[in-house]
Amino acid sequence: MERIRKLALTFDGAPNPPATLNVLAKLDEHGVKGTFFMEGHRIEKEPDTAREVKRRGHEIGNHSYSHPMLDQIPLEEARVEIEKTDALLREVVGVETKLVRPPAGALNHELAAMLICMGYEIALWSPMVPIYDWAGPDAAAICRRILSNVGDENTVLVFHDRVEFVPDVLDTIIPVLRDKGFTFVTMSQMDRKGVIR
């Protein structure tokens, strides 16, 4: 029996209208659900877009309130960053989540231990696929970086929904990766690879 290969499309730093809405439209077009890691201060500024992500059935995770490097601030400040965003996700978006992605994936042992003790799953990504969507210089270059590095393993890709090239990248890579045998899943449907419990 052939093993199912899973691939999760994840997006950091939402919500960022209209860019987030362009990403949502492209995911809808391809029938794929993504996972959006939201920042609390952006939820406050753009609550309607945050709720739209939920309305369209995508998964939502916590990306801190103000996007500091959590491993470089006191633990209590890091706790507040996460708890403040969780409160906004509940009250504004109507979402309960235990997925957290530290900005830039920056972690140390103390921070990881605290998050795990708080009941969170630390959701990282596949480091062997260097997307660097923010570096461009265009959609074609980003697609080449992705498609030349995705192997046969379960994979978590990290994008930034605010980057203008992302919808075009999704339009290209989703059909190709489907043809390669990948099934698109949300982060919580991913096997534990890419997620620290």
In one-letter notation, the amino acid at residue 42 is: R
**Alpha-carbon span 139 to 129, nearest angstrom:** 15
pLDDT given for residue 29 in this prediction: 98
**Cβ(186)–Cβ(157) below 8 Å:** no
The residue ranges of every structural domain in the chain are 5-196
Residue 70 vs residues 79, 89, 102, 114, 169: alpha-carbon distances, Å = 9, 19, 7, 11, 29
83: enclosing H helix or E strand: helix 75-88
Shortest CA distance to 11 belongs to which of 125, 96, 94, 119?
125
160 is catalytic: yes
Question: 168, exposed or middle or buried, with CB in 10 Å at 0-12, 13-18, 19+?
Answer: middle
| pLDDT for the residue numbered 4 | 79
Which of 12, 71, 86, 133 is labelled catalytic?
12
Cα(33)–Cα(12) distance, integer angstroms: 15
Residue 164 CA to residue 147 CA, distance in Å, equals 19
161 belongs to the catalytic site: no
Cα distance between residue 46 and residue 8, in whole Å = 25
The whole-number pLDDT of residue 130 equals 87
Q: What gap in Å lies between CA 16 and CA 41, rounded to an integer?
A: 11
Stretches where the chain sits below pLDDT 50 are: 1, 193-194, 196-197
| Distance separating alpha carbons of residues 134 and 158, to the nearest angstrom | 11
Q: What pLDDT is attached to residue 2?
A: 56
pLDDT at site 196: 44
Catalytic: which of 71, 86, 133, 160? Answer: 160
Residue 144's pLDDT is what? 96
For domain 5-196, give the fold: TIM Barrel (3.20.20)
Pairing state between β 195-196 and 121-123: antiparallel
